[in-house]
């Protein structure tokens, strides 16, 4: 006799696993109507062959920014054949040359040689092609913060947005995507005067919104009755801690895999609890991946110590990076605002009060993320 609750070895709980992949672009994309409409409105001029209104999408991890832009791209490309839309991942392409090479590849179908060609030459080729084909170029700079250091953002935006001054007739629009708008303070006036983006805020999702979105993934990703209402609620409760939907989708997938491993036809609370240990780190790793190298270094030193006097930490930091106290102090403040560390006065230092830098998260999780170089 077979127990109907037992999963046979060749059976699966997943109707369509793809629905639970992080880069899956769902048809159902609720709770972002305002943002999508603002984006559509900004892109509308492209339907008439004009340059769009530049946009800046800002919000914490996993709030749908990248997905919203991909939706916008899809729509504009179906309705306007004269549009060339390209998303650049600035974490990978973090210099002007790399960004322009990516655009070149989209237009010409081949990557330019990695060296020996000047930026100027590539850019001229791109401009020529756009003018000849009468196309409007739309560039989404995803994770734009990576370009904000060492002046790359200024160079990139300047080249793209002031191109028409040098090449009349050229039409280029830019969408910037960022977690934290304060990274843009480094943009200089020459860039700001042409960028003038329409800012679109992506706030954290609330419990009911997360539930609605995850329920849709459950419906298409799993066979019926695999995920009960209670299990869904438990999943949503975990996701609400960070508001990061990436964690939610990963959690559903891992919970399902855990249940399969147990040979069960249903996902139970224990599968979710176990999965959360792995999924929660996604949010942290994403946050850590957005830090600068010097910030990662300080976090690593702090993680290895767990608790350390600020002066001592500074000494180690300075030895390894050569950076001074102002920078150190700035980074400590940043790590504090991210809730990675506490920096309270101890009240007992030898020369009066000293600050103690104390890790607020599991050191192992932090070191794990740093190692992944995510």
In the bound state with Mg ion, the residue whose beta carbon lies nearer, of 66 and 94, is 66
* 143 CB-contact burial (10 Å; exposed 0-12 / middle 13-18 / buried 19+): buried
Secondary structure class of 63 (helix, strand, coil): coil
Smallest distance, ligand ATP to C-beta of residue 174, A:
17
The Cβ of residue 258 has, within 10 Å, a number of other Cβ atoms equal to: 19
**What contacts 264, CB < 8 A, 6 or more positions away?**
5, 6, 7, 271
* 9 CB-contact burial (10 Å; exposed 0-12 / middle 13-18 / buried 19+): exposed
**Rounded distance, CA 244 to CA 79, Å?**
32
In the bound state with Mg ion, the residue whose beta carbon lies nearer, of 66 and 294, is 66
By beta carbon distance, the residue nearest ligand ATP is: 64
In the bound state with ligand ATP, the residue whose beta carbon lies nearer, of 126 and 232, is 232
Smallest distance, ligand ATP to C-beta of residue 28, A:
6
The binding site for Mg ion (CB under 5 A) comprises: 66
Q: Give strand pairing partners of 71.
A: none
Smallest distance, ligand ATP to C-beta of residue 20, A:
9
CA Rg, the chain, in Å? Answer: 24
Smallest distance, ligand ATP to C-beta of residue 87, A:
11
The binding site for ligand ATP (CB under 6 A) comprises: 22, 24, 26, 29-32, 59, 61-67, 179, 202, 213, 245-246, 249, 286
336 binds, among Mg ion, ligand ATP, none (CB under 5 to 8 A by kind): none
Smallest distance, ligand ATP to C-beta of residue 300, A:
21
Q: Label the pairing between strands 198-201 and 341-345.
A: unpaired
Smallest distance, Mg ion to C-beta of residue 226, A:
29
221 binds, among Mg ion, ligand ATP, none (CB under 5 to 8 A by kind): none
Q: Where are the beta strands (DSSP E) in the chain?
A: 55-58, 83-89, 136-142, 171-178, 198-201, 307-309, 341-345, 355-359
In the bound state with ligand ATP, the residue whose beta carbon lies nearer, of 343 and 374, is 374
In the bound state with ligand ATP, the residue whose beta carbon lies nearer, of 57 and 301, is 57
**Rounded distance, CA 313 to CA 239, Å?**
33
102 binds, among ligand ATP, Mg ion, none (CB under 5 to 8 A by kind): none
In the bound state with ligand ATP, the residue whose beta carbon lies nearer, of 182 and 346, is 182
């Amino acid at each position: 006799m077979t127990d109907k609750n037992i999963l046979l070895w060749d059976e699966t709980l997943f109707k369509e696993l793809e629905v639970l992949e992080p880069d899956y672009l769902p048809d159902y994309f609720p709770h972002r109507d305002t943002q999508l409409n603002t984006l559509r409105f900004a892109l509308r001029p492209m339907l008439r062959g004009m340059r769009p209104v530049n946009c800046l999408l800002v919000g914490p991890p996993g709030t749908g920014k990248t997905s919203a832009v991909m939706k916008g791209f899809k729509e504009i490309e179906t309705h306007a054949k004269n549009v060339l839309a390209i998303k650049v991942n600035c974490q990978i392409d973090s210099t002007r040359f790399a960004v322009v090479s990516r655009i070149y590849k989209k237009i010409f179908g081949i990557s330019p040689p990695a060296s020996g060609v000047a930026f100027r030459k590539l850019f001229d080729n791109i401009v020529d092609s756009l003018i000849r084909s009468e196309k409007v170029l739309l560039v989404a700079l995803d994770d734009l913060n990576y370009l904000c250091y060492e002046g790359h953002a200024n160079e990139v935006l300047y080249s793209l947005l002031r191109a028409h001054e040098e090449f009349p007739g050229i039409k280029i629009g830019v969408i910037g995507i960022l977690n934290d708008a304060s990274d843009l303070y480094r943009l200089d006036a020459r860039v700001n005067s042409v960028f003038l983006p329409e800012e679109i805020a992506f706030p954290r999702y609330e419990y009911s919104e997360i539930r609605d979105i995850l329920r849709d993934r459950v419906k298409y990703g799993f066979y019926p009755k695999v995920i009960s209402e209670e299990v869904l609620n438990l999943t949503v409760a975990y996701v609400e801690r960070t508001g990061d939907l990436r964690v939610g989708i990963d959690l559903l997938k891992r919970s399902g895999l855990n249940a399969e491993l147990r040979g069960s036809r249903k996902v139970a609370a224990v599968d979710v609890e176990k999965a959360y240990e792995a999924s929660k780190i996604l949010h942290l790793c994403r946050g850590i991946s957005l830090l600068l190298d010097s910030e990662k270094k300080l976090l690593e030193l702090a993680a290895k110590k767990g608790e350390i006097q600020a002066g001592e930490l500074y000494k180690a930091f300075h030895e390894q990076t050569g950076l001074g106290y102002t920078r150190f102090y700035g980074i400590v403040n940043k790590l504090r605002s991210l809730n990675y560390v506490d920096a309270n006065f101890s009240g007992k230092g030898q020369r009066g009060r000293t600050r103690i830098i104390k890790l607020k998260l599991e050191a192992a999780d932090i070191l794990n993320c740093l190692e992944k170089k995510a």
